[in-house]
Amino acid sequence: MELPKGFLFDFDGVVVDSFESHYSAWTSAFKELFNQEIVPFPKSYAGKSPKIIAAYFCSVIDEEKRSNDLFLLKKKHLDIYFKVPKLLPGVREITRFLSEKNTSYGIASNATKQFLKNSIHHLYLNFTTVFGLEDYAKPKPAPEAYISLAKALGFKENDFNEIWVFEDSLTGTRAAKLAGMIPIGITTEYSGEELKEEGSVLVFPTLLEAYEYLNNHEIKKE
């Protein structure tokens, strides 16, 4: 197998561990809005749009009508009280490798654009093409995020079946599959079996193992 034509990355759970960054913003926003403590974050909501997550948190206290208020306030808290997320293994190695191979890559996330920009800036990451929640009419699990990113990188629809998409959530894996691309699972949130059942063709613990897989393949090919 030759090197895929392009590589698309989810952000949270693939490039960074951002749970603390997001959950602290949800917690402080919820407290400010409702003067109550927030419930634990449900695993099944990993990778979903923050608007859907806001609706969930509000539904727990029968305040569904305030879900957009919570979404907007969380977005504000995420920026004002910004916490740099933790970089996950292999990010610098794989982006350096792809740059050396002149292979296009970028990020498409359900996180807000400002959070992505802040994180990339503070972690000195080499991602220049980045799509966030505000860039889509329909966030993941709809395929729009990955289709938009691929087109921005110069790919045509007939290239999509040769593009890898790194995803740690079932939501994002579904989006990649619906886009006609190749989902590659990162087992941050879900097991390899769960990701494969959703459509992942290969699974790796982190991007470091994915990089090693690609690098070893290139050595063998040469």
Chain segment 27-46, per-residue pLDDT in tens = 999 999 999 999 999 888 98
Maximum alpha-carbon separation in the chain = 62
Q: How far apart are CA 18 and CA 1, in angstroms?
A: 33
Segment 128-147 shows an average pLDDT of 96
CA atoms within 13 A on the CB side of 125: 29
pLDDT of residue 217: 77
Q: Strand (E) positions, the chain?
A: 6-9, 16-17, 86-87, 104-108, 130-131, 163-167, 182-186, 202-204
N residues, the chain: 222
Backbone torsions φ then ψ of 32, nearest 5 degrees: -65, -40
Is the pLDDT assigned to residue 198 strictly greater than 60?
yes
Give residue limits of the domains in the chain: 6-17+85-221, 19-80
Give the CATH superfamily of 6-17+85-221: HAD superfamily/HAD-like (3.40.50.1000)
Q: pLDDT tens digit string along 71-100?
A: 999 999 999 999 999 999 999 999 999 999
